[in-house]
Chain A
Amino acid sequence: MTLLSVTGVSRRFGDVTALDDVSLDIVQGEFFALLGPSGCGKTTLLRVLAGFERPDTGTVTLDGADLLALPAHRRPVNLMFQSYALFPHMTVEKNIAYGLHREGLPKDEIRARVAGVLATIGLPGAAKRRPNQLSGGQRQRVALARAIVKRPRLLLLDEPLSALDKKVRAEMQLELKRLQHEVGITFVVVTHDQEEAMSLADRIAVFSEGRVEQVDAPVSLYRRPRTRFVADFVGANNLFDGVLRDGGVEVPGVGSGPLPCEPPGDLPAGSPVVLSVRPENVRFDDEGPLAGTVMDTSFFGGVSRVAVEVGGLTRPVELTVPGTAPADPGKPVRLSWNPDRAILIGPA
């Protein structure tokens, strides 16, 4: 069931187009991620949803009702700010209770819910402390608690984990996932970290320069990128710009013949295409169409990354192989891949 529907939303700031005809549907109970490089309009979209920014054009509905018609303080949507925006003059407890007081709930219920959410975020002893007496990670948890305690229809989180170091971050990712399961709220998480989006979300919308490039489940996004930007941004990838021919993709000046690719579907021969091959799908093959020289190898415990310089390409071709690298830098090699694993991206 669709909870939130964003249709044709645009927002310009002077000559910067922060949102360009954005359309999205978010399903009830879903963990949805907005992924994109910094400056691509993710925060602006959250601010439109929270009511701090009016779109120039477009509509937003929540449960079928016009969300844009409501002022910010009447929307059943809570935002966890990128900077947390905790009230510095209030204790942790008062920060969390603030939104509940606004609903006019009885004091007993407020006390119980605040205590409950403090236990959930693992900070039961911090109730009487002020934000400036907490660490970054603790503040982030309080900000999260303040947003979820309201049990909103929709919870927006703006880069909730970006201020944390790697270990705490992995813990909090699990925690977020667990929380979402537990409270059953629809989450929209903004991130510029594709691994974070992949591991957390049910579905991901990839943004670039204010536009939605693709909305898909993490696996489909990885396996079937539909634009060059997505293929490049989500996960490591090898991209070849060429022209579709009968036997594969012809890249001028590269390889001893057309590069193998999946069946082209309804793309006619002669179309300009981008061929996308994941590093784990490239293999050493003495009969392969690509000839090059090993530039660099690195061992990642279990797998190794090998970069191979190929004449005619500006970027080296990357491949991952199990175990240690079978070739040392400087060695001439040939590369190939299974045609099924070489994805065609049609002209944009």
Chain B
Amino acid sequence: MTAVPKDARTRAAGRARRPRAEPLVLLGPGLLYLLAFLLVPLALVLSYTIFKRGRFGGIVHEATGDNFTRAADPLYLDVLLTSVKLATMTTLLALAIGYPTAYVIARLPARWKTPALVAVVLPFWTNFLIRTYAWIVLLNSEGLVNSALTDLGVIDRPLGLLYTDGAIVTGLLYAYLPLMILPLYSAIERLDPQLAEASANLGAGPARTFLSVTLPLTLPGVLTGCVFVFVPSLGNFVIPELLGGGRTIMVGNLVRDQFLKARDWPFGSVLALSIVAVLIALLTVQAWAARRFSGEGDHA
């Protein structure tokens, strides 16, 4: 009488097993995709770094450490540093412009939010190259900006706007600003407006409320936006090429050139890995900061 019927026990066991099988089934396609298109190529790139280059691309299976010593050349380190600098400037500018924009959109009446968000992503629907060429038209010495300034008498001679670091940052900023605004918008939108009111009610002025309440609570969105802008900015090679005039080459250009022009796959792999290394370091900091400041996982 007291014994549990056998089939009941097996049914219970079946229920207990299922939760382990289901995630695998659901995750399967995604994991396969990552394996095939991310991990395998990454492993290949990693393995190329220790071999000698083939004459017309590819590799010769002869181990060497030369690729790494070559990358330590100040010439290449400089390019990496410049790239990090330009990507950082782009990210900070995107944050400075994106935060107020996202804030205003998040606090618009409901029926204006969608049109405003569509306007933010609208440039994405135009071809990337065309958008970048448009900046050449705007910035070159006979371009709209220069002729407008000359006509207004602000300047005598056209400014050298194009083919500068500033032009690259402008191009990157223009290309990736929406990637900053969208995660910020979603973080600010989720923030209860009464928290800012509570802060004011307790005697905090607008600046204090922003620093102590609004910013910390939207920090995960800030960090996500920064990563979304920094990552593609660092690896970009089209914008530096078109707007930088090839004078300031970013690390993305180097990688592209090694693979497609110099046909030095092993050295290109080393450079590509240097980008990956910077990004991993960045993501680690981001994950740490998100935990540290959002208060998640901090159960005292």
> Which of A's residues lie within 8 Å of B, judged by CB?
50-52, 71-74, 77-79, 81, 83, 85-89, 91, 98-99, 102-103, 128-130, 133, 146, 150
Task: Determine whether B299 belongs to the interface, using a CB cutoff of 8 Å to chain A.
Answer: yes
A85 & B203 in contact (Cβ 8 Å cutoff): no
9 contacts between A and B (CB under 8 A): A51-B200, A52-B197, A72-B201, A78-B202, A79-B198, A81-B194, A85-B197, A89-B217, A89-B295
* Closest Cβ neighbor of B219 among chain A residues: A89
A88 & B217 in contact (Cβ 8 Å cutoff): yes
A73 & B295 in contact (Cβ 8 Å cutoff): no
Q: Which residues of A contact B197 (CB under 8 A)?
A: 50, 52, 72, 81, 85
Q: Which residues of B contact A87 (CB under 8 A)?
A: 195, 198-199, 213, 217
Q: How close is B292's CB to chain A, nearest CB, in angstroms?
A: 11
In the complex where A91-B300, A98-B212 touch, is A150 in contact with B217 (Cβ < 8 A)?
no
Task: Determine whether B186 belongs to the interface, using a CB cutoff of 8 Å to chain A.
Answer: no
Q: Which residues of B contact A99 (CB under 8 A)?
A: 202-203
In the complex where A85-B197, A98-B199, A99-B203 touch, is A130 in contact with B295 (Cβ < 8 A)?
yes
B299 & A89 in contact (Cβ 8 Å cutoff): no
Q: How far is the CA of A99 from the CA of B209 in the complex (A)?
A: 11
Q: How far is the CA of A79 from the CA of B197 in the complex (A)?
A: 10
Task: Determine whether B57 belongs to the interface, using a CB cutoff of 8 Å to chain A.
Answer: no
Task: Determine whether B293 belongs to the interface, using a CB cutoff of 8 Å to chain A.
Answer: yes
Q: Which residues of A contact B194 (CB under 8 A)?
A: 81, 83, 85
B204 & A79 in contact (Cβ 8 Å cutoff): no
Q: Which residues of A contact B206 (CB under 8 A)?
A: 73
Q: Which residues of A contact B64 (CB under 8 A)?
A: none
Task: Determine whether B205 belongs to the interface, using a CB cutoff of 8 Å to chain A.
Answer: yes
Q: How far is the CA of A87 from the CA of B199 in the complex (A)?
A: 9
A73 & B201 in contact (Cβ 8 Å cutoff): yes
Q: How far is the CA of A102 from the CA of B195 in the complex (A)?
A: 16
B201 & A78 in contact (Cβ 8 Å cutoff): yes
Within 8 A of A (CB), among B203-261: 203-206, 208-209, 212-213, 216-217
B195 & A133 in contact (Cβ 8 Å cutoff): no
Q: How close is B293's CB to chain A, nearest CB, in angstroms?
A: 7
Q: Which residues of B contact A86 (CB under 8 A)?
A: 198
In the complex where A83-B194, A89-B294, A102-B208 touch, is A50 in contact with B203 (Cβ < 8 A)?
no
Q: How far is the CA of A128 from the CA of B295 in the complex (A)?
A: 12
Task: Determine whether B192 belongs to the interface, using a CB cutoff of 8 Å to chain A.
Answer: yes
Count the A-B residue pairs with Cβ separation under 8 angstroms: how many? 70
Q: Which residues of A contact B300 (CB under 8 A)?
A: 91, 128-130
Chain B interfacial residues counted at CB < 8 A: 25
A73 & B294 in contact (Cβ 8 Å cutoff): no
Q: Which residues of A contact B199 (CB under 8 A)?
A: 87, 98
* Closest Cβ neighbor of B295 among chain A residues: A89
Q: Which residues of A contact B208 (CB under 8 A)?
A: 102
Q: How far is the CA of A73 from the CA of B208 in the complex (A)?
A: 11
Q: Which residues of A contact B293 (CB under 8 A)?
A: 89
Q: How close is B16's CB to chain A, nearest CB, in angstroms?
A: 30
Our pick among B192, B203, B299 for the contact of A102 (Cβ within 8 Å) is B203
B200 & A73 in contact (Cβ 8 Å cutoff): yes
* Closest Cβ neighbor of A47 among chain B residues: B197
Q: How close is A334's CB to chain B, nearest CB, in angstroms?
A: 56
Q: How close is B296's CB to chain A, nearest CB, in angstroms?
A: 9
* Closest Cβ neighbor of A86 among chain B residues: B198
Q: Which residues of B contact A51 (CB under 8 A)?
A: 200-201
Q: How far is the CA of A5 from the CA of B197 in the complex (A)?
A: 23
Q: How close is A75's CB to chain B, nearest CB, in angstroms?
A: 8
Most buried by A among B200, B201, B204, B217: B201
In the complex where A81-B194, A85-B197, A87-B198 touch, is A103 in contact with B203 (Cβ < 8 A)?
yes
Q: Which residues of B contact A88 (CB under 8 A)?
A: 195, 217, 295
Q: Which residues of A contact B298 (CB under 8 A)?
A: 130
Q: How close is A341's CB to chain B, nearest CB, in angstroms?
A: 46
Our pick among B195, B205, B216 for the contact of A85 (Cβ within 8 Å) is B195
Q: How close is A68's CB to chain B, nearest CB, in angstroms?
A: 15
Q: How far is the CA of A146 from the CA of B213 in the complex (A)?
A: 15
Q: Which residues of B contact A74 (CB under 8 A)?
A: 203
